[in-house]
Structure 1
Amino acid sequence: MNEQRLQAYNQLIQTLLSCPSGEESEILAANTELLDADFVQVVVAAAEYFAQQGEENTAEWLRNLATYLTTPKTTPITQEDIDTYGQLLLEILQATAESNGDAEVIYPLLVANTDKLNDIFAELLRRWATNILAEAEADTATSIAAVIVTFSNRIQQFPLGSKANNMEIAIAGYEIALTVYTRSAFPVDWATTQNNLGIAYGDRILGERAENIESAIEAYTEALSVLTRSAFPQNNAVTLLNLGRLYQDEKQFDLAYNTFVSAIATVEALRGDIISGEEAKRKQAEEWNQLYRCMVEVCLALARDTEAIEYIERSKTQNLVELLTKAALTTPENLPLVGSSIQFGEIQNLLDNKTAIIEWYLFYDCFRAFIITSNNKPAIWHSSQQDLDALIDWKKEYLDDYYNPEDENKIQWQNQLEERLKKLAEILHIEEILDQIPKQYERLILIPHRYLHLFPLHALPVKESYLIDLFSNGVGYAPSCQLLQKVQLRQRPNFESLFAIQNPTEDLYEKDLGAVAAIKKQFTEREILKQDQANKSAILLGINENIHNVTLHEKLLKANCAFFFCHGYFNFASPQDSGLQLADGNLTLADIITHFKLENCRLVTLSACETGVTDSTSTSDEYIGLPSGFLLAGSTNVVSSLWTVSATATALLMMKFYEELQQQSNIVLALNTAQRWLRDTTVKGFQNWLINSSLSWGCKIYLNKYFAANHENALTKPFESPFYWAAFCNIGKGV
């Protein structure tokens, strides 16, 4: 149960204890949505607490309440009940049959009759079905059983009324159906119904908890005797997940662990059988993400911390890792890769003795940060439910403001960014997490999870500085440890050749501050496609004639560094259509994945807006965005942005970034150094830098006018706000 639900339980208990005598039944009737098995457990725990405090009367009252809530009712049934309930029962079953179980048809009927969804209804369902099935022919009996099972599924999931009564009705329906669905005659229907019966007994409130759990386990075990991995792998995985979650809820963690191991083996075998494309694999990863999450929780409960991290990795970026593996092995297209995993020792081998990883993982009721170093056990920081709730609220407000159509230029969002990042640092408890990292560590790799990829975690305020100020060898990112392992294995030449796209659209012609012109001087070989020459058909030769015989521009194919100074965008509705805007069309993520091959490329720099945004709606954390496309294409590093950036600030940042790259091979450190320079330099400092820069006189004049017009005080730091310097981050190898 989550913290919010627990508070609701405790509030209801307080209300019952403080209400006038005789009003308890009315209060319980008004709060039926809270009367579930977890509530009973909280009542029992409260009774023990009051007993320890010497308040035996209160403790006994609570014990009686728990007994009352779990004791099946035996209400006498009158002829009037038979008539009234019988008519309702037939109406509901007919609606179920005619609508094929459509909840939009069935639920309004249930809502209008919640007062009759009780023990009488359950008993009359048993009587009616028993009598009619005894006289029905085989085909008719089978059809009736199918309708009853469908209705039982619906009422089991019905969110209103008394959950205790709903479970009793569902159990009655399943047990009746099993008199028709015998194992010998209908093995699959029998097994599926057993699985559903197991769910109902696991959620049952009435009766002895131990007996309910025993019945649920028995039902799941029966189901698995038919729903084997070889014969019915999908059903096998579903049933194993249900059984494992039951063991987990009952804190039988060893049994839960073994059950989830079997479930994951089935799921990964299913994944290996998918041949219909990457979209199908993404959907499968999202479908089964809860299984991996449950396994991580169980591993942590068993203090198997390194295994927890291994299972986190198995649930992240599966498609991307498999594609990278496939490319590295030159695996034939028709040979599927079954699963992907990395051992904790392999993760540690990715790190030297001065580099640490912080890997986040979002659970249902909290989030955790796993701190990994090369020679120690992982340290784990654990949030509260309130922290997760605050993070969800923060994320919603951040994104709502960023995409607010009334603030087209994002001025309000920009002005609030500094304070928002302070709040995010508090919610993530970043200082507490950093306390787990010894002071001698000089480099940090951040591995976010899901929507955390959208935020500039490297720019979180820490005491009187920012995160990037605390690590002298740089702060970079990776989508997962597995992907980091893949790119670390790639060996790329030093920076000798450059391929650049410069101002492909007319609106950028006048915004050219000479960044590309300055950067290209650092390379012995360079190919610059500028303005109307910077088009898609020049990069992908043959793209407009024959899509099957497209070849990449020769200079891009050989480039050690690819630089794009253009517009970028992320398409949330269709991430594969995200891309870079060129002179004659958009270079999309799908184009990059399909046609790019960058086996000599060490760095792709996407000096454009929103090029680092990824699909945060994916629960499987597949990391779908332009960076993943270029990593898949062969680059070992991608520098990209998390929002719509300032053209002037970005041009200065890029010039300084490449200036730093001349001095060192550490890409992450060069970027962080350039970001600190942009953040901390005064107007006077920029003016002095311009004097010695290699920019053209026209660019120098423009920038001097820019500073003079916007900042009267020479000691002002014009780009101090994180909005100007924090958008860009490096994803990948880091060097």
Structure 2
Amino acid sequence: MDEQRQQAYLTLINALLTCPSGEEGQTLQDNAELVDAGLVKTMAQVAEVLAERGDENGAQFLIGMANQLGELLGLSTSTATPEAQLDFLMQVLKTTSDSDVDPQVVYPLLQENLHLLDDNFARILYDWATAKLAELQPAQAKSIAIDIGNFSNLIQEFPLGSQATNQEIAITGYEVALTFFTCENHSKTWATLQNNLGAAYSDRIRGERAENIESAIASYQAALQIYTRDAFPSKWAMTQTNLGAAYRNRIRGERAENIELAIASFQSALEVYTRQAFPSQWALIQNNLGTVYYFRIRGEREENIELAIAFYQSALEVYTCEAFPSDWAMTKNNLGNAYSNRIRGERAENIESAIAFYQAALEVYTRDAFPSQWATTQNNLGAAYYDRIRGERAENIESAIASFQSALEVYTRDAFPSDWANTQNNLGTAYGDRIRGERAENIESAIASFQAAMAVYTRDAFPSDWAMTQNNLGNAYLERIRGEVAENIESAIASYQAALEVRTREAFPQNYIETQFNLGRAYRDAQQLDNAYDAFAAGIDTVEFQRVEISLGTANDADKQKLAEEWNKLYLNMIEVCLELADNTQAWEYIERSKTRNLIELLTSRSLYPDGEIPTQIKSQLQQLQQEILIEQRRLNQLQAAGEQKLLEKSITVEEIDYSHINQLRQRYNELYPYKPLKFDQLSPLIDKNTAIIEWYIFDDCFRAVIINDLTPQPPSQSPSFRRTEDASLLFHGRGRI
């Protein structure tokens, strides 16, 4: 096969992996000249690579596609004959028994006969074993069933050949053995087989991932009927550990509840797996607990991250670099992730800790020895350098770019499409903020990276990532120096509008606000002031409608301050647009709405609440609604995450998410909220002719005083003016630069 055609196969395979679900047939039809035995063979090879890299969904999809094409083309996926495979089955079962299940004896035999280990081998195992076990005397049948179970253990761990096929053979073997070993007659062996079957389903590449995990959970739970803590403490702890891992990865059910079940299983295992008696198992569970607490939904996010850090640090008491180098590096990387997102402590110090942990992990995770882990840690290190507060900003961004580019040496589009796209997006963000180098060239690099990411981040396959990258691309076009200014602005507007197709107010409220703000800026640059007004207004309405999530979110104080500054920019731009539209009244009203504690609170609190305090009943209701809103928001976030996971599994329909309940809660909160935005025409009852209101507002280049002093009703034709105090009821006085 020539190199050019091989590359064409790889390009087509990548197109199949990234095309919208349902369009695979059209993609193949458009490339009909490539649909042949060579494509089927290449699909199988790529599937193996994806499986080894952990992309089980992609591997499963390609295996299914290769099988379908093989049938359509009349291809045989194996050169083995059924007779040869049956003879080999007899040989390998005998070798397993004679060697006392020694992998050093069995694995060379498997390696010499890789061509016989295919899907048909699993079918021959099932047909022969079920028939044989039914006709033999119990003692003979038991011996064969034991050999089959032990062979299944070996093939499940066999590192060569097709990992997907090896798992299918193991599952077949366990299920056949379980037809002989029942819970009633051979309870201990039955429990062992159930635990092993659970492990095989947990690692299974083929089939629907969600269904495989359900099968694993069912097998582990079955094993625990026999493996009780009192009767089999170490096996009980082992199975509890496996069950916890399955719940951690579970797709079905409520994500928050699955994580709680994982925590409970891991903590149960620790009742037996103590540090003194089982140090390595204890350390493994400490690391696992760190991971589940890091992703925990229930409880306070701040406290969960602290617990995750504590568990990771406990694991490192056993996982030393000398004794467990790869486990040590894994835990160091996990600690880096936890410190990158830590809420407590000084943000700058947390990022320094994260960088140190990632750098430590890279001492073991070298490119040659652990290529995928090396790339993952390089990407994480790049993100930490990008967020770094200490050090020179220009140098930090250079370090981030270097790390992202290193990750892309392993994260290729063909082998790691989603990781490649994620790192391309990160690289684009870093180039967009780069200080060194020519600004125009940096922006071009950012645009190229964002466009590359969207080759994988399609709207159908990765909707939220697609929308994020569209937003980022819009920012790059808005800052672009090369090309026609008007055309760049139009490109930015188009990208923002595309992002808003996914970043809706209901599904991604804060992202919606961000993109509406960016869209408003683009409209301002295009002098489309009415459109800018509409975009800013939509963003502000959402900020105010979702005041609970914004004020009580899980971010640390520094992040909340940063968020507040972003929203202040939104109000500032709206005020400036109002002034550019010569709508002074609207400008004042948005000044008033922008304040944390606005004028209406000060002027009306006495009349609303004479004691100056919100009544306890109202305050209690507001607090209850706050909690209900945050809980519902977390639930919706879980559904969004689960939906995107399902999109990665071809042919799975994602149900529409219902946002009506959370919107009802927000509406009730805002109805109870005592302070409403003040309209300009509502000022009359609050001040008289002898009263003037003076307010200050800070703009980017100056600050201005707003003077309101004459609210005597005016003829309809009159409106506030900037020019004359005697004729105006609202004035903006420019002041010196800050």
TM range (shorter): 0.3 to 0.5
Q: Counting helix residues as a fraction of each chain, which structure ranks higher?
A: 2
The higher-RCO structure (CA 8 Å, 6+ apart) is: 1
Structure in which a larger fraction of residues adopt strand: 1
